[in-house]
Amino acid sequence: MPAHQIETRIKTHQAIAGFGRRRAGRSTRKMAFLRRRESIAIPVVLAFFLLLGLLGSPATATDPESAAPRVENSDAVPKGLPQLLEIEKKFTAVAENAIKCVVGIQIGQSRGSGVLVSEDGLVLTAGHVAQKPGQKAVFTTYDGKVFNGVSLGVFSSADAGMMKITDKKKWLFVTPAAKNSIVVGDWCVAIGHPLGYLPGRPPVVRMGRILRLEDRAVQTDCPLISGDSGGPLFNLDGELIGINSRIGGPMDRNYHVPIDVYLENWEDLKKGVAWADKMPQRDTEQVKAVFRDVIAKAAKCVVRVRCDKKDVALGTIVGPDGWILTKASELKGRVVVRLEDGRELEARIVGVVGQFDLAMLKIDAVDLPNIEWGLTDPKVGQWVAVPGLDKDPLAIGVVSTPRRAIPAERGLLGVTIGDTPNGVAVISVIPKGPADQAGLKKDDIITHINGKPIQNQANLMEHTKNLKPGIAVKLTVKRGEEVLDKSVTLGKLVTPSTRQRDMLNAMGV
């Protein structure tokens, strides 16, 4: 399909990218999901997403592994759009089937991932996730259902572990690839629960390529973080080729236990025995080259945003008469936009959405190239690319997780309250919290919020439940015989779960 016939859909979305190389002459294997043998026909659209303000000024870093040998002239490198679409079709097929066999694992406070490999509930995971034989565990399936299980064997030197779901059920499962079937340069799909299982979020899919292969380690450039440990690594035929093990230095240099380790020690792992006893540089240049024609039109819609004569972010032209979206938090001082043709025009900030760190700029210009918004949600596994100011994309990856609703944050007043005969009393004030900073004290009686009378705790909570952090509310309080008005700017509740959510949001998972 010629590039000019592809409708490029640009959206604001974050993508995680990763690539390597593949050897020539490898035949395609059959999809290996035993419980889902039917052929899969999935319509795919090559979807491209624009990251607003992804970069300030370009930066480079030296990778200590940059001198590693590369695999050149690989058939795995797509030569054009038909090959890209064929690879995408395989990604989406693997993702659609595999996520149903991936489980979240919790042992005490430790969390990880695993994958079902038998109808009776055997689960492969990392050795450090299984910990030791006989550990009681809780398993969460892709649809949020919870089951009980136990750790079986652990081969700690290789970080290989096996577990079993003990609740009786016929499980969907995947089949391990044959021994010696992992090939440097192959495309691969890593799946897991980054930072542990989150309600409403299915297992998260990442793509990449095999970088190195040793007896007990496979290195890929699939981006992984804590919580992904124990999750599966698949080839594009849907065969299980490894288990996520440990994170390398950069986020996209990660290690997996090859499936051969499990196959060679299957019976000992299954019996509950515990015992104990590095790879080519990623190269994406040829892959990026295939995307050049596809993103060429979109790249004309990307501009450089400057503040006080310094490059601070990229922007996206969303209207032909000078409307530009960019990263709000980078805008300080006089804002100037540099267009693709070299013109520099002063920009006005006409709107900000702090929740998404977006700002709308307006410049005095007409007939500018502008993006077209996609109207459909992409499938997990579809290609995504990030156009920049140069001919090559800034990043290439796949859609990792479907769109989901994220509960809105509620503003924090920073007090504990209780009903008294005199009204709603302040029982305690959180030190340095919003109420403390506004001057509220213990034993104050709250009588009004924003001029509306308050009768009891439930009434106060009803008035504040939809208020977001950063909103100022006016409280009328009675302190002894004195009546005071206090302006309180609601704060943000910080807990381990909110920190986890914020980290995931920042990473796009």
In terms of CATH architecture, what is 302-370? Answer: Beta Barrel (2.40)
β-bridge mates for residue 206, sequence order: 190
What is residue 98's three-state secondary structure?
helix
H or E element, residue 134: none
The alpha carbon dihedral of 199, 203, 206, 210 has a sign of: positive
**DSSP code per residue over 105-118:** EEETTEEEEEEE-S
Cβ-contact 162, 125 below 8 angstroms: yes
Q: Which of 174, 171, 141, 169 is nearest to 34 (CA)?
A: 174
Q: Where in the chain is the domain with CATH 2.30.42.10?
A: 411-492
Q: Across the chain, how many H-helices and E-strands are there?
A: 8, 30
What is residue 60's three-state secondary structure?
coil
CA distance 386 to 436: 45
Phi, psi of 377 (to 5 degrees): -75, 135
pLDDT of 242 reads 96
CA distance 349 to 360: 6
- The topology (CATH level 3) of 411-492 is Pdz3 Domain (2.30.42)
What is residue 440's three-state secondary structure?
coil
- Find how far residue 239's CA is from the centre of its chain: 23
pLDDT of 249 reads 63
For residue range 358-370, what is the model confidence (pLDDT) as tens digits? 999 999 999 999 9
CA distance 94 to 190: 10
Which residues, 6 or more positions from 342, have their beta carbon under 8 angstroms from its beta carbon? none
Which residues of the chain, if any, have pLDDT below 50? 1-73, 278-283, 508-509
pLDDT of 503 reads 56
What is residue 130's three-state secondary structure?
helix
For residue range 204-245, what is the model confidence (pLDDT) as tens digits? 999 899 999 887 899 999 988 888 999 999 999 999 999 999
pLDDT of 37 reads 32
Q: Where in the chain is the domain with CATH 2.40.10.120?
A: 1-300+378-399
Q: What is the Cα gyration radius of the chain?
A: 27
CA distance 440 to 430: 10
Q: Where in the chain is the domain with CATH 2.40.10.10?
A: 302-370
In terms of CATH architecture, what is 1-300+378-399? Answer: Beta Barrel (2.40)
CA distance 178 to 181: 6
- Find how far residue 50's CA is from the centre of its chain: 16
Q: Strand 240-247 relative to strand 358-362: parallel, antiparallel, unpaired?
A: unpaired
